Amino acid sequence: MITVSSLLDRDWYERYKRISQLNMRSSIYDVTNRCNLRCKGCFFFSSGEDKVAGEETDPAKWGTFVEAEMQRGVNLAILIGGEPTLCLDRVEQFYKRMPTFCATNGLIKVPRDRFPDMMVGISLWGDEEDEKRLRGQNTFLISSKNYTGDPYTYYLYTVTPKQIGRTERVIKNIRDAGLKVHMQLLSNDEGVDGFSWNEAELGDLCMEMDEMLDAYPDTVISSKYYHKVITTGKMLDRTFGWQECPSVTEPMDTRNPRPKRLIRFVRWASDLQSMHRCCTSATRDCATCKDGAAHMSWIMVNKRAHMRSSRDFQNWIEVYEMFAKLYQFLPW
């Protein structure tokens, strides 16, 4: 019988032991339906998720809701929107109760006196040219000033086909601002011309992401196996899609048979009662989904499948460590 210890030498076994104690249980929360940007390709607005429910505005009700979520077993709150920093009183209800990650476009600085160690992930959609084209402004100019040297912040760099061959300059700028970066891929939900992927581009990007990880290991938080899975949509002998996706809201998951999935995962709308189908766009065709979190969770929930060789299981450990670092369950 193949066991964990038969697959790993002492160093890898220590790494495995460290992550096997973490027991992360995340859910995702829309803090608000509003945003101070309107990016072309934003899954939230393009799928009409901003119209699904009215916002709960009473911070006390958010506090009661967060406590019920903790009772449900959630120990990591991932705050998205809209733009969460528009409603810091709601963000605070999470932060003072459990580990909290706040996704933001970085235009409004999270005050560190109020949220000293809250994890912040700043969205970035490319260099100046792509940011202006897709988001209407060069957000990096502002966000990098707001967060220079902040130890609890990283850039979530959404790479587009136009970025191939141009990622290094972006990563150097992030390094020079004293910050970390994690890369994911645009799904192009609004079909912007020239921003959809073809196979050759995905292959080129995979190689480029590997090169960036090798060249900037102190700045890039990633793993080569993650690069391979997200650019091919393949894991071991399986293909990503609706039947495999781990990030479906549990009470809405009618799949039979159910695949391995995130336990108790829910994506809540901002009325604190409605739910969205999954961690991203409710209208996206799963066959085209490039969602980074869904792909890394796909790997993570399929531990046993990776226990077929030492290399496969080491790949699994690296992705788990990457996820844990991104949410500060492990130090960078």
Does 39 bind ligand SF4 (CB under 6 A)? Our answer is yes
Q: Which is nearer to ligand SF4, 34 or 145 (CB)?
A: 34
* Tally of CB atoms within 10 A around 147: 22
Residues 6+ apart with CB under 8 A from 90: 31, 32, 59, 62, 84
User: Using CB atoms within 10 A of its CB, is residue 260 exposed (0-12), middle (13-18) or buried (19+)?
Assistant: middle
Question: What does 141-160 look like in DSSP terms, one character per residue?
Answer: HHHHHHHTT-TTEEEEEEE-
What's the one-letter identity of residue 187? Answer: S
Q: Which is nearer to ligand SF4, 105 or 219 (CB)?
A: 105
Does 44 bind ligand SF4 (CB under 6 A)? Our answer is yes
Question: What does 275-332 look like in DSSP terms, one character per residue?
Answer: EESBSS-TTS-GGG---HHHHHHHHHH-TGGGTTSHHHHHHHHHHHHHHHHHTTSS--
Total number of residues binding ligand SF4 (CB under 6 A)? 25
What is the distance between the alpha carbons of residues 282 and 222, in angstroms, rounded to a whole number? 27
CB of 123 vs ligand SF4, minimal distance in Å: 5
- Binding ligand SF4 (rule: CB under 6 A), the pick from 26, 93, 123, 249 is 123
Does 289 bind ligand SF4 (CB under 6 A)? Our answer is yes
SS3 30: strand
* Tally of CB atoms within 10 A around 92: 17
* Tally of CB atoms within 10 A around 51: 10
What's the one-letter identity of residue 232? Answer: T
Q: Which is nearer to ligand SF4, 79 or 289 (CB)?
A: 289
The interface with ligand SF4 within residues 10-29 (CB under 6 A) comprises none
Give the per-residue contact string, 77-96, with ligand SF4 (x = CB under 6 A; - = no): ----xxx-------------
CB of 331 vs ligand SF4, minimal distance in Å: 27
- Binding ligand SF4 (rule: CB under 6 A), the pick from 7, 8, 35, 299 is 35
Does 242 bind ligand SF4 (CB under 6 A)? Our answer is yes
- Binding ligand SF4 (rule: CB under 6 A), the pick from 88, 278, 300, 322 is 278
- Binding ligand SF4 (rule: CB under 6 A), the pick from 294, 300, 317, 322 is 294
Q: Which is nearer to ligand SF4, 44 or 157 (CB)?
A: 44
CB of 105 vs ligand SF4, minimal distance in Å: 4
The arrangement of strands across the sheet holding 76-80 comes to: 180-185, 153-159, 119-124, 100-104, 76-80, 26-30, 267-268, 275-276
Q: Which is nearer to ligand SF4, 65 or 242 (CB)?
A: 242
Q: Which is nearer to ligand SF4, 161 or 233 (CB)?
A: 233
> φ and ψ at 100, to 5 degrees?
-135, 135
* Tally of CB atoms within 10 A around 232: 14
- Binding ligand SF4 (rule: CB under 6 A), the pick from 8, 19, 28, 42 is 42
User: Using CB atoms within 10 A of its CB, is residue 81 exposed (0-12), middle (13-18) or buried (19+)?
Assistant: buried
Q: Which is nearer to ligand SF4, 77 or 134 (CB)?
A: 134
The interface with ligand SF4 within residues 247-276 (CB under 6 A) comprises 247-248
- Binding ligand SF4 (rule: CB under 6 A), the pick from 291, 296, 317, 327 is 291
Residue numbers at the binding site for ligand SF4 (CB under 6 A): 35, 37-39, 42, 44-45, 81-83, 105, 123, 242, 245, 247-248, 278-281, 284, 286, 289, 291, 294
